[in-house]
Chains A and B, each alone.
Chain A
């Protein structure tokens, strides 16, 4: 009830501004009448937003609605997590609004009810292209960040297996290859996201970086991260150390760990990287991938592993592939097995309406015909209720 009143209050000032241009009294009266009709219609339309900003309290009642994340929190929680079209949208609209959808709610239910004494459960979010897998992952990351978990968010694992300019032989293990640039970039973002944990967690072992540099036992993890950022050569090893420490200390129970990997099928696919003698590099020869694979194994407890499959950045996979066994391959499937699959599909009619009204409300759809019912039907037909297609269609309008 309160919500509908809020909707009325929210929308009347806009209508007054629009209708103040009418000259005659008759027009004014008729506009008031139509205002009433419109208010009644728009009262129901206001149900595409919700003021519930804490993902922990999101329930089925909120399904299909947008909730906003304060911009400060966006910078703190998602230094590198959000997809770039969404980042542009945040800059344009000056707010970050995420839609609450069923897969995310399902995941929250599982996370709330899972016991952290048992080994970490793996969740694999899969679905066709552009249906909202990465956004679901970001929603889960936000939820865990609010709950106070340590979030290990790898925005796109495909970036680590392709387009690498500098490949160095690892100093720690002769067989493996380092990627200093990607590792340092990730470390920087990791530091922004999890500042306070880096001070609390202490190393349990001495690490020697070079002749004169070493980290003693009992020093905060922040120092390891600083070391990795300062000496880019050791960045990949720093990442490995961080991951190992976190995994070892997670079961002690002082913090919960969320491993969020986007594009997990990159860890078991092929790479486009080549060694100096032009022989192809397989993923396990990369330090970053090797360490990440260890994280994704369910031999630790006290947290959860949420991953997404992605065809968009994947290498050597057909564009119609979206199922786990297609994208992960035999090796990956066996490595990730057992996992809980979570399917993300195109917008349902209510979700489509919600997104459409959100764009209208933000004045993103400028075309006059876009406001009519026929325009809405046309948008629904042309986008096929696919979130990415809708977002790309609405851009030029």
Chain B
């Protein structure tokens, strides 16, 4: 109907279509209209655990935590099997294999996730006992055979620490090396182009830096990346900046120039710059004013009566 192919219509396409057809101004994602499988929207509930005659289905019903104990029972059974297998192997003379499955990219389920899986409440003690059992199973020489079972209770952690790619130097018509960087601070956005073989001249929005930033504090901010790398009189810079006020524009240009200077400098110095805080985006923004208060934090004058 909308020109889409019904054969290859995925859940993502459904979400996009619903967001287009029923636009909503609500802030909470969960309050907006959605079209998903009912099991995704409504959480699983426990069905009734006993039959018509009142007799419970599960043999561990009267323990109170039937799924937890049955899980422990199952896992322990697997552990015993693995130990038996290991004894058989050592009796036959094969050396035990020592392989660690524990890749750094996986973690055990959290208590909340386990509760969701078992549909019943656990205590911290129960949870820790279960995790200890799983780890013991993993430590065993032949524990890796039960990988499939253990995968049910482990999750992969998303890869952290994406390596930041430093762009290589570009060369303009005269053969002078230059590099670009972008920065922002509060509402100011700045782009800086740093040229090599310079004399320390800085141009901002077509105007000399002395005229654009008459205040010393702003010029000190611009000086900081160059002074840190001991390259004060060696580079020329041409920047454009918009938005924000005088101090945030200076901060934005500082970040942009530090990012641009990364290309001229060794990796060790880039690490020093990062530790000095030159390459970190400053996330501070103006805090929202709340109703019932005069400002973001300031309350109205308190009157005793």
Contact = CB atoms under 8 A, between A and B. Distances in A.
Interface of A: 320, 374, 377-378, 380-382, 384, 386, 389, 393
Q: Nearest 9 pairs between A and B by C-beta?
A: A377-B232, A384-B210, A381-B223, A382-B219, A381-B232, A377-B233, A381-B200, A386-B210, A378-B227
A322 B216 CA distance: 22
Contacts of A377: 200, 227, 232-233
A382 B223 contact: yes
B208 interface: yes
11 contacts: A374-B232, A377-B200, A378-B232, A381-B219, A381-B223, A381-B232, A382-B220, A382-B223, A384-B209, A384-B219, A389-B210
Given A320-B211, A374-B227, A389-B210, A382 B216 contact: yes
Interface string B42-70: 00000000000000000000000000000
B230 A374 contact: yes
A320 B208 CA distance: 11
A49 to B, nearest CB: 25
Given A377-B233, A389-B210, 13 more contacts: A320-B211, A374-B227, A377-B200, A378-B223, A380-B200, A380-B233, A381-B223, A381-B226, A381-B232, A381-B233, A382-B216, A384-B209, A384-B210
Contacts, number: 32
A384 B227 contact: no
Interface centre among A381, A384, A386 (most CB of B within 10 A): A381
A374 B200 CA distance: 13
A374 B223 CA distance: 12
A325 to B, nearest CB: 19
A382 to B, nearest CB: 5
A280 B208 CA distance: 37
Contacts of B200: 377, 380-381
A266 B216 CA distance: 30
A97 to B, nearest CB: 25
Contacts of B219: 381-382, 384
Nearest to B200: A381
Interface in B188-210: 200, 208-210
A370 to B, nearest CB: 14
Contacts of A393: 216
Nearest to B230: A374
B135 to A, nearest CB: 56
Contacts of B220: 382
Interface in B225-242: 226-227, 230, 232-233
Contacts of B230: 374
A380 B219 CA distance: 11
Contacts of A378: 223, 227, 232
A380 B200 CA distance: 9
Nearest to B226: A381
A389 B226 CA distance: 20
B23 to A, nearest CB: 48
A236 B146 CA distance: 109
Interface in B219-277: 219-220, 223, 226-227, 230, 232-233
Nearest to A393: B216
B119 to A, nearest CB: 67
Nearest to B211: A320
Interface centre among B226, B227, B232, B233 (most CB of A within 10 A): B232
Interface centre among A382, A386, A393 (most CB of B within 10 A): A382
A95 B232 CA distance: 33
Nearest to B216: A382
A320 B210 CA distance: 11
Contacts of A381: 200, 219, 223, 226-227, 232-233
B275 to A, nearest CB: 20
A392 B216 CA distance: 10
Interface string B3-40: 00000000000000000000000000000000000000
Nearest to B214: A319
Contacts of A380: 200, 232-233
B224 to A, nearest CB: 10
Nearest to B222: A381
B111 to A, nearest CB: 56
A219 B250 CA distance: 65
Contacts of B209: 384
A200 B226 CA distance: 62
A377 B232 CA distance: 6
B30 to A, nearest CB: 53
A386 B227 CA distance: 20
Nearest to B219: A382
Contacts of A374: 227, 230, 232
